[in-house]
């Protein structure tokens, strides 16, 4: 089994600290939403464009899968496990820095919303783009959505299939056979 280098350990520590900070920011904004928006009228930020509106979201986007807490928590845990695995396997090369940041952002969003579901049985949403009648969302949703879009663009335009060979079980099998 490979041992972690000092550089890799430092990168993983930075990842954990970044995830903790991003989760804190998400939870803090949700706390502010509860304190200042719950049982209140929407706060207009930009008339007919952006409002802050408190919403208890017991489902996913567009209200699908209502009251499926166990399902959402299980999905979040699986996402976090996969991200942890990939971060441990991620080569310490400059070209993977964007992927590392994206994975940290997605992990932070998944964990932030999972914390809400476990603690409250719902996710606190409060950002509303009224101009396009978009579903109300939160900071964790921004982390996940923006990171996923950037990941897709990077996968289509920057990374090649061979750039993900570090995740291949074939490569690990070859190592064991060689040994």
Q: Which residues are catalytic?
A: 125, 141
**H/E element holding 151?**
helix 139-157
Quote the CA–CA distance of 15 and 84 in Å, as a whole number: 10
**H/E element holding 107?**
helix 97-120
Q: How many CB atoms lie within 10 A of CB 101?
A: 14
Task: Determine how β-strand 50-57 pairs with β-strand 123-129.
Answer: antiparallel
């Amino acid at each position: 089994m490979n041992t972690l280098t000092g550089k890799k350990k430092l990168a993983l520590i930075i990842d954990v600290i970044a995830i903790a900070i991003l989760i804190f920011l998400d939870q803090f904004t949700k706390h502010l939403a509860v304190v200042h928006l719950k049982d209140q009228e929407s706060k207009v930020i930009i008339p007919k464009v952006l409002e802050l509106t408190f919403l208890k979201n017991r489902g996913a986007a567009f209200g699908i899968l209502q009251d499926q807490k166990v399902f959402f928590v299980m999905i979040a845990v699986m996402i976090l496990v996969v991200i942890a695995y990939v971060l441990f396997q991620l080569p310490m090369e400059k070209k993977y820095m964007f992927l590392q940041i994206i994975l940290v952002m997605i992990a932070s969003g998944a964990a932030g919303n999972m914390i809400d579901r476990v603690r409250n049985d719902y996710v606190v949403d409060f950002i509303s783009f009224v101009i396009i009648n978009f579903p109300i969302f939160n900071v964790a949703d921004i982390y996940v959505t923006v990171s996923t879009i950037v990941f897709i663009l990077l996968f289509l335009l920057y990374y090649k299939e061979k750039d993900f060979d570090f995740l291949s079980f074939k490569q690990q099998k070859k190592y064991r056979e060689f040994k």
